[in-house]
Structure 1
Amino acid sequence: MGEWITSIAGTEQGATLASVLALSAAFLHAVFGALQKGRHDPWISRAAIDICYGLMALPIALFVVPWPDGPLWLALAGAVVIHIVYKVAQAQTYQRGAYIVVYPVVRGSAPFFAVLAAMLVFHERFNAVQWLGLAALTGGIFALAAHNYRKVTVGRETLVPALGWALVTGATVALYTTYDAWGIRLAQNPFTFLAWFFLMDAFFMPIWNMRRLAALPRSELVPLMGRGVIGALVAFASFGSIMIATRIDEVGRAAVLRETSTVFAALVGWLILGEKVGARRAVLMAVIAAGAMIVEFAA
């Protein structure tokens, strides 16, 4: 499987698969964000998810995929540090702001930063039409956040610092997307990078939140770990999809498609949770989707 993925990198088949994987990651990331911003404190939810995906990754890393070589160990260590910064920023964001406001800001800022980083690191170039598509996507996402901001009545006193943290989180999303795309290229088998990343990444949040976990009532442990198992499976699929997409196609295009997660988040709220979309939100969702399609097909 790993050899086949490597063999289709840079081909038309690889580009098509990368688009499918990036859109899958978008949907799954919307689900993952909702899981973390839910019943439990975001710090505790993230710790439970990390514990579960570390345990799941352990046998795969030790017995299934090849072990990393020297340069890949260093790349993995750097990836873990960047993701720690990302997790802290994300938890600070969700702790302070309404999910429907801060999530679009995180996702709206990330693709712009990611495209710039891909230009510097991988020498990718967007043409004028793709930049127009990126502007439509980013502008639509920020407009959606502004629309939601006007409707929020609870916790408005903490929304300004939450929005600041959301921009920081967006920048770290772009940073880890670009860095991890570089790191997975160092691995002969891309699943080596993924398995060992999930294993190494699993330690920080449980250790950091040990007191919070210890103080949790026993009656909450079962639902928390149930959320952790679901979140771990979603994390594997979401992060794995976007990383494979960046391995076989351009990083910038994959990053932009992934940020259609804001559209999927709104659709989940409408179709499953019964939330009203409204004409304005529907138009903004269409603008976001159109921007992503322009970037995809104007290459």
Structure 2
Amino acid sequence: MSDWLVSLEGTEAGHHLALILALIAAFLHAVFGALQKGRFDPWLMRGAIDVNYGLIAAPFAFFVVPWPEPHMWPIFVGAFVIHTGYKLLQAQTYSLGAYTVVYPVVRGMGPLFTVIGAWIVFGEVFSTTQWLGVLVLVTGIFGLAVYNLIFTVVARDTLVPALLMAVATGGLVALYTTYDAYGIRATADPFTFLAWFFMIDGIVMPPIAVRRWLRLEHRPPLCPLLTRGLIGAFLAYASFGSIMLATRLDKVGEAAVLRETSTVFAAVIGWVVLKEAVGPRRLALMALIATGAVIVELGG
């Protein structure tokens, strides 16, 4: 399968597959975010997810995929540091603010800075039409965040800190998207990067979650927590794996922009699953986000 994927790089078929993978990643990332923000404390949920995907990835890293080339080890160290910072900020952001408020801000920071990063690192250039699409998409995302900020009644006292944390988290989203795209392109087999990434990335959060769980007065039962963590692990494989393969097959900037349609899916999930209010204004802003993604794709 690796040889087949590599053969599609830079081709029209690869472009179409990258589009599909980016949209799959968008939906699954929204589900993943709702899972972390849902029933359990975000710190505990992230720890449960990471211990599952780290342990599952380990045998694939050691015995299935080709061994990483020597130059990959510093790249893995960099990815570990960036993703650790991202997850710490993300968990704190979800602890402070409502999902439909902070998630659009986190995701809204990503497209613009990732497109700029892709230009600097990979020499990718967006057309004027595509930049218009980015502007429309980002306007919709931040419009959704502002609307939620004005009308939300949940956790108003922590809203400003939550939004500041969301902005910082979004900056790290852009950083890791560009950096990981560089990483997955630096190895001959893309699944080598993915297997080793997930194994290494699963190290930090489980001990933090265990410590937090031990300190809680009312500790949630471990079995349901770990079961959800297992579901989250497979969501992470599919979501992160899809977007990383998309960045290997085609433009990093386009894949990043399309992934941010996850904000639309997140709003729907927040409404249907988390019972957070969604009205006509939000629906209009969600349509604006989707329109921006379409403009980016058609303008390429």
Q: Name the TM-score, length of structure 1 as normaliser.
A: 0.96
Which residue of structure 1 aligns with residue 34 of structure 2?
A: 34
Identify which range, 68-77 or 260-269, moves more after superposition. Answer: 260-269
User: What amino acid does structure 1 have at the position aligned with 2:252?
Assistant: V
Q: What is the Cα deviation at residue 154 of structure 1?
A: 2.5
- Deviation of 1:202 after TM superposition, in Å, equals 0.6
Code of the aligned partner of 1:295:
V
Q: Is 1:93 matched with 2:109? A: no
Matched AA of 1:220: P
Partner amino acid, structure 1, of 2:124: E
Counterpart of 2:239?
238
> What is aligned with 1:256?
257
* Aligned residue in 2 for 1:45: 45
Question: Per-residue CA shift, 1:138-179, capped at 9, x if unaligned?
Answer: 000111111112222121111111111111111100100000
Where structure 2 has 5 or more consecutive residues not aligned to the other structure, the ranges are none
Deviation string for 1:222-265 (max 9, x for gaps)?
11001100000000000000000000000000000000001111
CA distance in 2, matches of 1:38, 1:267: 14
1:119 aligns with 2:119: yes
- Tell me, yes or no, if the aligned pair for 2:102 and 2:163 is still in contact at 8 Å: yes
CA distance, structure 1, for counterparts of residue 237 and residue 19 of structure 2: 18
Residues 29-50 of structure 1 deviation map (CA, whole Å, 9 limit, x = unaligned): 0000001112221111101100
1:169 aligns with 2:155: no
- Render the CA deviation track for 1:46-65: whole Å, top value 9, x for unaligned: 01100000111011111110
Change in Cα spacing, 1:117 to 1:91, as seen in structure 2 (3 Å) is same
Q: Secondary structure at the match of 1:70?
A: coil
Q: CA deviation at 1:210?
A: 3.0
Q: 1:274 to 1:41 in 2, by over 3 A?
A: closer
User: Would the alpha carbon gap of residues 273 and 83 (structure 1) be closer, same or farther in structure 2, given more than 3 Å must change?
Assistant: closer
Structure 1 runs (4+) deviating above 6 angstroms are: none
Q: Which runs of 5+ in 1 are unaligned?
A: none
Equivalent position amino acid for 2:279 in 1? G
Partner of 2:194: 194
Instruction: Measure the CA separation in 2 of the matches of 1:215 and 1:133.
Output: 47
Q: How does 1:142-291 map to 2 (within 5 A)?
A: 142-215=142-215, 220-270=221-271, 277-291=278-292
- CA distance in 2: counterparts of 1:167 and 1:219, whole angstroms: 30
The sequence identity of aligned pairs, in percent, is 61
Distance 1:144-1:8 versus aligned 2 partners, 3 A rule:
same
How many Å separate the matches in 1 of 2:275 and 2:89? 30
Which residue of 2 is the match for residue 83 of structure 1? 83
Deviations 1:170-223 (A, max 9, x none): 110010000000001111110000000000111111123331133466761011
How much has 1:277 moved relative to structure 2? 3.5
On the 8 A contact 2:34/2:269 being kept in 1, the answer is no
C-alpha distance after superposition, 1:264-283 (max 9, x if no partner): 11233455566653221121
Count of aligned pairs:
299
Structure 1 pair 16–121 and aligned structure 2 pair: CA distance change class (3 A): same
The one-letter amino acid of 1:294's match is I
